[in-house]
Amino acid sequence: MSAEIIDGKQIATEIRSKLAEEIISLSSHGVPGLAVVLIGNNPASEVYVRMKKKACSDIGVNSYEYSFGEDYGEENLLKLIDELNNDSKINGILVQLPLPRGYDEKKVIEAISPLKDVDGFHPENLGRIVIGDRDCFQPCTPYGCQIMIKRTVKNLKGKHVVIVGRSNIVGKPLANMLVQKNDMANCIVTVCHSASEDISKFTLQADILVAAAGSPGLIKADMVKPGAVVIDVGTNRVDDPENPGKCKLVGDVDFEAVKEVAAAISPVPGGVGPMTITMLLENTVKAFRLHNDI
């Protein structure tokens, strides 16, 4: 039997419409504001920034774009971040990554006030995640994955989650979020990665398998335990054989084959992607409440 499809787009639409209502209910305090900073002309980053600005305007968040060429320079960027940290109309600051060569991403991320770090990349927010303090901003992609997992598997206690990939943006924070003792988590977590000669030893044990390796089609049907829940975080652009000269977006999972083995699976596109932007919006509303003592 074919797996249930975990429809990230549908879940995202539901959460976004609740956020839009929440923003209306908070309007006597003002409007949440998100600064979106884009340096250089990476085409994928330009698309993401456009999508983020559109998502803001759809639900009533004010977005403020700061776009500069590659030659803007780290010093100017750090000065801009300092101004945004002190600007009361700005509740969240997002610096689109990757930054061009010559910019120190670590330094830039650490310059953002942890209280405006709606991406959840600042070490202070990541540290709070490690100790299970939910009074912080959780990085958007793992946060979106956690919500999709919780909606699919009601009781997570003791479930074995295997995460393939150890990035600072997805694998490491998600592992720390899912291991905590709360009802959004309480899982047994394994993280496996490229140092393993045979990741199927691990993936076959997963009740919940999260593929976040950035490797198209890495997870094959014979690497998945029958009845597992599979979350595909991969966003890989590959040549589209049906449209010569064009690219298409594929995940880390061989979707067509794995959907015949899994109990539930998230597609690419239409899975984790829309959830990531939604959690950015949720974090921005959370920051607005925090800054206004609501």
Question: At closest approach, how far in Å is the CB of 1 from ligand GUN?
Answer: 34
- Kindly write down the DSSP assignment for every residue of 76-116, as one continuous string: HHHHHHHHHHT-TT--EEEE-SSPPTT--HHHHHHHS-TTT
Question: At closest approach, how far in Å is the CB of 264 from ligand GUN?
Answer: 24
CA separation, residue 187 to residues 21, 117, 146, 261 (Å) = 33, 27, 11, 22
What is the C-alpha separation between 55 and 19, in angstroms, rounded? 11
| Residue 85 burial (C-beta neighbours within 10 Å; 0-12, 13-18, 19+) | middle
Can you give the binding site for ligand GUN, defined by CB under 6 A?
A: 94-97, 119, 140-141, 276
**Beta carbon nearer to ligand GUN, 19 or 264:** 19
**Beta carbon nearer to ligand GUN, 36 or 261:** 36
CA separation, residue 126 to residues 86, 140, 195 (Å) = 22, 12, 24
**Beta carbon nearer to ligand GUN, 60 or 92:** 92
Question: At closest approach, how far in Å is the CB of 139 from ligand GUN?
Answer: 7
**Beta carbon nearer to ligand GUN, 119 or 254:** 119
Question: At closest approach, how far in Å is the CB of 278 from ligand GUN?
Answer: 12
**Beta carbon nearer to ligand GUN, 97 or 184:** 97
Residues 96, 138, 146, 180: which is the catalytic one? Answer: 96
**Beta carbon nearer to ligand GUN, 199 or 274:** 274
Residues 116, 117, 119, 259: which is the catalytic one? Answer: 119
* Angle, CA of 93, 95 and 100, to the nearest 5°: 165
CA separation, residue 67 to residues 60, 118, 139, 263 (Å) = 21, 19, 23, 43
Question: At closest approach, how far in Å is the CB of 41 from ligand GUN?
Answer: 15
Question: At closest approach, how far in Å is the CB of 59 from ligand GUN?
Answer: 18
Q: Is 52 a catalytic residue?
A: yes
**Neighbouring C-beta atoms of residue 12, cutoff 10 Å:** 25
Q: Which two tokens stand for residue 186?
A: 């309480």
Residue nearest to ligand GUN (CB): 97
Residue of 288, 3, 10, 289 lying closest to 147 (CA atoms): 10
- CB-CB contact of 108 with 77 (8 Å): yes
**Neighbouring C-beta atoms of residue 131, cutoff 10 Å:** 9
- CB-CB contact of 115 with 283 (8 Å): no
Q: Is 54 a catalytic residue?
A: no
Write out the catalytic residue numbers. Answer: 52, 96, 119
